[in-house]
Chains A and B, each alone.
Chain A
Amino acid sequence: METLILIIVLAVFFVAVVTEMGWLLLVRPRRRRRGEPPEVIVSPPEAPGEPELRTPGRDAAEAAQAVITPTAPPRAPEQRTPAPPAAPEIEKPPPSAGRLVRLRERLSRSQSSVGSVLLGLLSRDRLDDDTWDEIEEVLITADVGVVPARQMVDDLRTKVKVLGARGVDEVRALLRTELITQIGEDMDRSLHTERHEGLPGVVLMVGVNGTGKTTTVGKLARVLVGDGKTVLLGAADTFRAAAADQLQTWGERVGARTVRADRDGADPASVAFEAVREGADLGVDVVLVDTAGRLHTKTGLMDELGKVKRVIEKRAPVGEVLLVLDAITGQNGLRQARVFAEVVDITGIVLTKLDGTAKGGIVIAVQRELGVPVKLVGLGEGPDDLAPFDPATFVDAILTA
């Protein structure tokens, strides 16, 4: 057994030695930097029916034929008050404005300890090394990460020195500014769901398993309907048992039609494509595409996701790719975000389950490293427990608990 390991190690090593340095020195990294225009994909045209990866060996042609069944009668785009006859009772969701303030109580439940403990520590008479260590630890327990926590402490240290006097109000103001800076105030956090050149706005929901993608699609559909838009849902999670049903249940509540495959395991790209195609044909305002949860470590599934996006783009541009992160995620969140960003160019983050005790500090590192802003927060399982994210309101909720 050791021999085998040895051989592998040697082989991989040797291959690496020979190729790696040669190319490293000659060819500049191919990685795209943030801000640079995306490289043009010159891949051969991908039919939506390429064999997918979760169910290898299935007939590709069959996948392309996947019967897409409409679940609610189609609605004309101008029909603002949904009234399909057979659908269950359709709710008219409230507008989303001011939600974060309304949900502040839940937010502060999870965040209170951070704010108040930090305030307490910073207001101490003497700020010695131990106190600063404690401050760092409070940040670490919020999942901020060791390095960012250290940087924040250094920042605060300098500012406290400059400040001189440290009354409660000064400290609070100082901390408020620091937190807002860390969270980033100057980012565009608006959702890009507008129609574009006669095509619906498309939102793609991605993330690892169980973070709340389907729930967020459902909640977001309500927000959009509440804001007077017409919405169509695409159930491109063809993998998890009953995932499409779960999405459809959400859709029916607000009278949004769900496009889904007729069976589990169909090609997600063709379902997504079909949803966008129908959305465009019907002239709806926004198409929300739910995808299966996938761990970022599974290259096959990540390729599949890349394909879902590319196939959609054959019909309409994707306005938002939202990465759904569970607030409870620790340092692994950064790895997740990196890979998803690379594969589908995420444009925003939805931080869910902030109604729990988890602080979601990992988004600070994610935002900083990837420059991708948190756009929405999930604050419960209720249909209207989704709010636009606003740094100042968020920080105020932390500090005034």
Chain B
Amino acid sequence: MFDTLSERLTQVFSSLRGKGRLSAADIDATAREIRIALLEADVALPVVRAFIARVKERAGGEEVSGALNPAQQVIKIVHDELIDVLGGETRRLRFAKVPPTVIMLAGLQGSGKTTLAGKLALWLREQGNTPMLVAADLQRPNAVQQLQIVGERAGVPVYAPEPGNGVGDPVAVARQSLEEAQRRQQNMVIIDTAGRLGIDEEMMRQAVGIRDAVQPDEILFVVDAMIGQDAVATAQAFLDGVGYDGVVLTKLDGDARGGAALSITQLTGRPIMFASAGEKLEDFDVFHPDRMASRILDMGDMLTLIEQAEKAFDEDQTAALADRLVSGEGFTLEDFVEQIQMVRKLGPIGNLLGMLPGAGKNKELLSQVNDKDLDRATAIVQSMTPEERRNPKIVNGSRRARIAGGSGVTPGQVGALIQNFQEGQKQMRQLMGGGLGNIPGMPPGMRRAANKAVKGKKPKKKHPGGDPRRAAARAVGNGAPAGDEVPGNGRAGGVGGGLPEGFSNQDMAETLAALQKGGLPGGLGGLPGLGTPDSNVPAAFRAPGNKRRKKK
């Protein structure tokens, strides 16, 4: 059972792997899987239909070329289509010729309007505007107070002449707010309105009343990223009911795939203008279609990982460690423990593994790994003598018993760790031997090590040039069997070391090769903003407290 789009697509593409080009049958099979994947990402059914039709058309047309392998080709087509739909029209906020500029928020109950109002106000204020918040949600208990507190935190005034909780006329409040803004010389007004259902005619009339009273320059439809199939009905009801010019997607800090983004833009043609991703007022950014596409394709987490890593990893230390890791032999159990510490700084290991592209396939398995395992491994290594750490081969029966006693495990577990460690070293060498030694930008030391590793272990057959991704997969396949290609090797059964079933070296090789080519969907390397510390990485992908990414 695959949870996400990218997991599905990865699955689809692994069955496509190796074929020369896309046949009509391939395209059909792919389309079926993409359909399911999109549905599981909560893209609305009618939108899925239209989207699939377009992908099919493009995949079957002459755009099919020899430059990419079929899997990459389909990924690219799907990704491009996603960006096309999501980013059809990018637009900035419209400002009124004569201030105040009026922004009205509308949406379902609980979609996050009030919080968003504060975020928008802060964002606008930081750009040199003087926004004022208007409390026109007089329905939900204490919504007025909430807005007042939010306004205080954002450092903007709040116009709240009515107590709310069912008392007061929101239309009148909205109308008066314009004069109030002029009087106070605020150049913008953000009107928070009550949550309402699309089918609630009376409440829709109220929204229309507010709209007509203030003639907003922008009406923003605020919608929760985890909305399901009803996104279509709701988006349409609000479009028909009050109308809107742009969409704001909230709660993007969760793990909803956010298929609604696709549904709503495709259906209404209204652009998604902002993305809200967190409870803090700063967790807010303009919307980036390419990143949303990557997210729907389940690639976005990589960015989070990178940012967390930037903070947690000491660069020199990392480089030295990586060097030894790649060369294989020089990497001792001591280094391994050091590495565990580094990795632990990144967060729970289960999360990390899930973030690796291709790893998503094995969520179930990965969910069973936890930090306690790492701690136990650390404990075992710490119970070893320095000599044993450097050269685990000398660990015999009595040493095993001693180490086990010292770390509170069984001697068998000690043996398994050592065996796995050696197996891991071997696999790492093979991985690096698969043409991955020449990655642009790789530190010289690491490259040297990688090349050394290659020399030590020549693949049996040299692959004539071509796709490094496949070459990598093949090279890896030589030593470590990969899931579907070398069945029944017994690893899954748990004999000796090896990768857990399903989490193949091939996934890894592909990930690496793709990284090398910048060929992952979303083109990690080519992602705008990845290289420059100051760019607009959306808050969803921003590690908390990362100063460098803070907006000025």
Contact = CB atoms under 8 A, between A and B. Distances in A.
A68 B36 CA distance: 51
A315 to B, nearest CB: 28
Interface residues of A, number: 78
A5 B307 CA distance: 10
A127 interface: no
Given A6-B442, A356-B197, A297 B254 contact: yes
A15 interface: yes
Interface in B441-480: 441-443, 446
B349 interface: yes
Given A21-B499, A141-B229, A146-B39, A332 B256 contact: yes
A160 B36 CA distance: 26
Interface stretch (B23-31, B86-94, B230-238): B230-238
B342 A9 contact: no
A9 B313 CA distance: 13
A244 B376 CA distance: 43
Interface in A4-33: 4-27, 29-31
B41 A242 contact: no
A263 to B, nearest CB: 11
Contacts of A12: 343, 346, 349, 352-353, 356
B141 to A, nearest CB: 4
A25 B322 CA distance: 27
A212 B254 contact: no
Contact of A4 (B41, B233, B310): B310
B199 interface: yes
Contact of B251 (A208, A218, A328, A359): A208
A211 B224 CA distance: 11
Contacts of B367: 31
A242 B145 contact: yes
Contacts of A6: 322, 439, 442, 512, 515
Contacts of B440: 2
Interface centre among B108, B439, B531 (most CB of A within 10 A): B108
A109 B306 CA distance: 47
Contacts of A326: 110, 224
A127 to B, nearest CB: 20
A3 interface: yes
Contacts of B421: 18
Interface string A188-223: 000000000000000000001111100000100000
B442 A210 contact: no
Contacts of B369: 16, 19-20, 23-24
A355 interface: yes
B237 A357 contact: yes
A2 B443 CA distance: 11
A19 to B, nearest CB: 5
Contacts of B246: none
Interface stretch (B62-70, B95-103, B169-177, B423-431): B423-431
Contacts of A147: 1
Contact of B441 (A2, A335, A336): A2
Contacts of A297: 253-255
A18 to B, nearest CB: 5
A71 interface: no
A15 B112 contact: no
Contacts of B351: 299
Contact of B45 (A15, A140, A246): A140
A14 B319 CA distance: 15
Given A18-B421, A19-B377, A210-B224, A240 B146 contact: yes
Nearest to B442: A3
Interface in B2-26: 3
A341 interface: no
B156 interface: no
Nearest to A213: B110
A4 B197 contact: no
A16 B431 CA distance: 15
A216 to B, nearest CB: 12
A384 interface: no
B41 A331 contact: yes
Contacts of A5: 302, 305-306, 515, 524
A3 B439 contact: yes
A296 interface: yes
A166 B364 CA distance: 42
B199 A357 contact: yes
A330 interface: yes
A265 to B, nearest CB: 12
B323 to A, nearest CB: 10
B339 A8 contact: no
A209 B198 contact: no
A362 B230 CA distance: 12
A6 B423 CA distance: 20
Given A211-B110, A329-B226, A19 B374 contact: yes
A249 interface: yes
B500 A209 contact: no
A4 B253 CA distance: 24
B228 interface: yes
Contact of A328 (B224, B370, B511): B224
A332 B512 CA distance: 29
A209 B112 contact: yes
Nearest to B35: A146
A132 interface: no
14 contacts: A3-B439, A3-B446, A5-B305, A7-B322, A11-B342, A15-B374, A21-B498, A23-B376, A23-B413, A31-B368, A295-B255, A331-B257, A357-B199, A381-B140
**3 closest A-B pairs by CB:** A330-B228, A210-B110, A241-B149
